[in-house]
Amino acid sequence: MSDGHEHNGHESVPSRQRTRFPGISSRAYEHPADRSALVALRKLSGFDTVFKALSGLLPERSLRLLFLSDSVRVSDQQFAHLNDMLRDACYILDLEKVPPMYVNQDPQPNAMCIGLDEPIIVVTTGLVELLDEEEMRAVVGHEVGHALSGHAVYRTILLFLTNLALRVAWIPLGNLAIMAIVTALREWFRKSELSADRAGLLAGQDLKASMRGLMKLAGGNHLHEMNVDAFLKQAEEYEAGGDLRDSVLKILNVLPRSHPFTTIRAAELKKWSESRDYQRIMDGHYPRRTEDKDTSVTDSFRESASHYATHVKTSKDPLMKLVSDIAGGAGDLGGRVRRGFGGFAGAGGSAESTPKDQPPRDGDESTGRDDNNNS
């Protein structure tokens, strides 16, 4: 138990006892899609070296100088409570080198882990003022999880390719190819956030605090007006509600985002906290870093594919149900698709238009009803 420790020469005493995970590999908490990508990238010899060489094209050095000159570096003398949380999270997740941490004046609640050679953590004043101690502990653990996984290095690919896409935007095919890769990387980026949420739970070991923090990110500092169960029901409603039109809109809404929606993050974290994988970690049974070099890329991709297949089979989303039925050979799929997208068509093409031998219903115009008004 982490009832007090000495880390990098500094003694830190947690406010309560938490389990420590010596030698834990980031594979223990990584989302299957995130883990498969990271395992494959780690197997590429010289990969990190190449992208570190490209760091001159990115504003990393400039950002480091900016935070050093115009932000407050967390230490025993400045934001000491954050410094204790940082050292404690590194101790629990066994991250040997504690990354520098800065507090940046910004009313927008945010936190990030950046840097190629050495990751740094930045939190905004808006976040510090919004969260209580245990909620903030989960956020600090979240960022330490990013550092332990090496996300700071691999996320640079996304930043680099996004910048490259802007430079070659005048080349139609070149831009399309790069944006296709960027779209795929954003999907991985979102899964890496789910991984870091799990690391935050392992560091804080307080699910309620993690839930509260996510609720505050969504609704501000009004916990007395919010309820965890109701918040999680929003995620269920989001997944299961609507028809095929809504499924398409969900995809379009999430494509440009770097983070999953907050309700989805909360639901995913709660599901993982109730899983056997989480309990095994808490019991001390987890993969070690010393085993990372022996990890099979094929097995990792197989686990990722299995995860997505299970997600499709168990999802309540109308589009995912349709995909599952297609895979299962269900009949009348054409009719289901027409009904699902019927609202996009006008009265003439709608699968549910009013028969000609019947008068229009109350509220309908004689030319037909336009369902797009409620899309």
- Read off the tokens for 50: 């190449």
Which phi and psi angles does 241 have, rounded to 5°?
-75, 160
Q: How far out from the chain centre does Cα 23 lie? A: 24
- Read off the tokens for 12: 């830190």
Which phi and psi angles does 309 have, rounded to 5°?
-65, -45
Its sign, for the CA torsion 271, 273, 274, 280, is positive
State the pLDDT at residue 85.
96
Task: Tell me the C-alpha distance between 180 and 165, whole Å.
Answer: 10
- Read off the tokens for 275: 């899983």
Helix axes of 172-204 and 151-167: crossing angle, nearest 10 degrees: 160
Which phi and psi angles does 274 have, rounded to 5°?
-100, 5
- Read off the tokens for 214: 């996510």
Report yes or no on whether pTM surpasses 0.85.
no
Task: Tell me the C-alpha distance between 43 and 47, whole Å.
Answer: 8
Give the residues of the chain that fall short of pLDDT 50: 2-5, 7-14, 312, 331, 333, 336-337, 344-375
Contacts 24+ apart (CB under 8 A), 129-136: 130/216, 130/217, 130/220, 130/221, 131/213, 131/216, 132/209, 132/212, 133/15, 133/81, 133/85, 134/204, 134/206, 134/209, 134/212, 135/209, 135/210, 135/212, 135/213, 135/216, 136/82, 136/85, 136/213
Burial class (CB in 10 A: 0-12, 13-18, 19+), 167: exposed
State the pLDDT at residue 119.
87
Burial class (CB in 10 A: 0-12, 13-18, 19+), 332: exposed
State the pLDDT at residue 32.
80
210-261 pLDDT, tens digit per residue, is 999 999 999 999 999 999 999 999 988 888 766 667 667 766 777 767 778 9
Beta-bridge mates of residue 10: 7
State the pLDDT at residue 188.
76
Residue type, 5: H
